[in-house]
Structure 1
């Protein structure tokens, strides 16, 4: 299996961020690549997870900086996770898309049947290794970035308590409720965070494009907002001065996930993630001879992928829960 897409399939993407030096943090104090610190005062267990995908380095830069600064909780427990270390070890700024994973996507393996089953891969081994630590987490924030241009957003799945938490954070201001992927469960979809009777919650923040300085600022502001919201640090950290958000939080719900049915899927325009299409039945793309059109007015495009292989998600279409202000 390949650790990422064929480089001939993608344009060149510049890497503006420095590659984090994780050598001091590889041993961990709980598990390899996992650092966990408990306070004397009771409180929630909050985890910040980076490198679910080995080439998404912005989150790892943030966590390594906070570890170097000696960040510790005033109450509860605070855990920093560098997830796919084997994939990250392959990261090369000259070919930055090729180290997303080693054998398979680490963000598609969090089904209990898969985790407890016989299948083997580098990513499944790591997920099984991380599972005991993740099983004690009350609130988790998974730090991600995106390949294609898009406004930052929070993915909260379909759990109401996670949706409410995402809206309370306020950064980034767009919160999207979705059903995940047909190809496997994400970390935030693990049963421990989604069972109706539970109180645990998990969010995934997409901070912006991979390897851009603004993406690191977005992830820092979102993680800071979570630490403020959960109260694990006293006094709570100030939001970064450069936080680029002024809009109030808004919730959108995915109404359709468009899966490419052919190898010739193509959008009719170079749409950016976060674009709102005003009118229902607007042509978005051609999938072979099939037209893909907006199913409703004020249709939000969530992370459109302009170069989509057959069987992969091309775009998610969403409806705001409140009217779009024109």
Structure 2
């Protein structure tokens, strides 16, 4: 006979109090852009080279990347070869950021990072975010290399996400190898609800050489997330050969072997009472197959194999949203 504790699900994790120790940057002077598109700054060198693109503010309350673009623009960083585009994406969501309610400015009408589909761009679907994607897509479709900077609600070490192509995996591994802590590099196919920017066919197709990866720099409002994002952005531009080394950039003297994993399961919350059995953290590795991770209604969510990597668990997922991605490390 099952005990009462076995029948009842564990209590849901409460939302923590978030201290905003990294305030939002003032990007007023960059809002107009310099090429006729709001928030887009584009520069070209006299010498030929790749088109490198860095995007920030895909979500309005994830502004570590906006700090990075503000720093690069304030220092008048320019390409020595090729082209450089620095893009503040969801300016209107960012303008709504309120430190008293910091989770409510992720987007205005819909998640911009589910809209990067050429067919959707050409469709009649409309929203504030959709119109912004339409305005920026022509720049994205000329990128040779792209870094999309994000951050996380729940505190966790940084992680680099790539699509499933070998080219984008190599791109992300190169960024990880020279960084303190050697962030995990995770390959995944994205979300059922729509393609992310890094899933755009321009990067996801093996018919092009264009690569993209997504940095989750750490918790949204911690100063270290800004530092991680800046280090990654400068490494990205230096590895592309677009800029000269930055004097304040601290990197490893020699590369380390990156830790890589591939997402095999994307666990969605099917009920409003999805509850993890404890407050797991992104990057946790669960040693044993069959370990219970969460309760979703009457269903137990268990690890599908030994040494299962937890990727960005959302400790309070809404029904229909991703609760956690499960990854198999390459060495497992």
In 1: Cα distance, 2:47 partner to 2:311 partner: 40
In 2: Cα distance, 1:213 partner to 1:242 partner: 18
In 2: Cα distance, 1:256 partner to 1:93 partner: 34
SS of the residue aligned with 1:203? strand
Q: Deviations over 1:8-41 (max 9, x none)?
A: x843311111221111101111211000110001
Task: Spell out the pairing of 1:20-35 with structure 2 (5 A cutoff).
Answer: 20-30=25-35, 31-35=37-41
2:100 pairs with 1:91: no
2:199 pairs with 1:189: yes
Aligned to 2:300: 291
Q: Name the larger-Rg structure.
A: 2
> Which of 66, 69, 73 is 1:63 aligned to?
69
Task: Spell out the pairing of 1:233-272 with structure 2 (5 A cutoff).
Answer: 233-234=243-244, 236-237=245-246, 240-241=249-250, 248-272=257-281
Q: Deviations over 1:126-148 (max 9, x none)?
A: 00011111111110000000001
Aligned to 1:11: 16
Q: Deviations over 1:96-136 (max 9, x none)?
A: 11111000000000112211111110000000011111111
Q: Deviations over 1:25-60 (max 9, x none)?
A: 011112110001100011100011000101111100
Task: Spell out the pairing of 1:160-179 with structure 2 (5 A cutoff).
Answer: 160-170=166-176, 171=179, 172-179=182-189
8 Å CA contact 2:217, 2:229 repeated in 1: yes
In 2: Cα distance, 1:239 partner to 1:271 partner: 34
Give the TM-score taking structure 2 as reference length: 0.91
8 Å CA contact 2:68, 2:233 repeated in 1: no
1:248 Cα deviation after fit: 3.7
Aligned to 1:214: 224
8 Å CA contact 1:217, 1:242 repeated in 2: no
- Consecutive unaligned residues in structure 2, runs of 5 or more: 1-13
Task: Spell out the pairing of 1:69-148 with structure 2 (5 A cutoff).
Answer: 69-148=75-154
1:246 Cα deviation after fit: 9.4
2:314 pairs with 1:309: no
Give the TM-score taking structure 1 as reference length: 0.93
- Consecutive unaligned residues in structure 1, runs of 5 or more: 1-8
Residues 189 and 40 of structure 1, relative CA distance in 2, 3 Å threshold? same
In 2: Cα distance, 1:239 partner to 1:298 partner: 37
SS of the residue aligned with 2:48? strand
Aligned to 2:4: none
Q: Deviations over 1:177-210 (max 9, x none)?
A: 0010001110111111111111001110000011
Residues 168 and 22 of structure 1, relative CA distance in 2, 3 Å threshold? same
8 Å CA contact 1:306, 1:314 repeated in 2: yes
1:237 Cα deviation after fit: 2.5
2:46 pairs with 1:36: no
RMSD: 1.7
8 Å CA contact 1:227, 1:237 repeated in 2: no
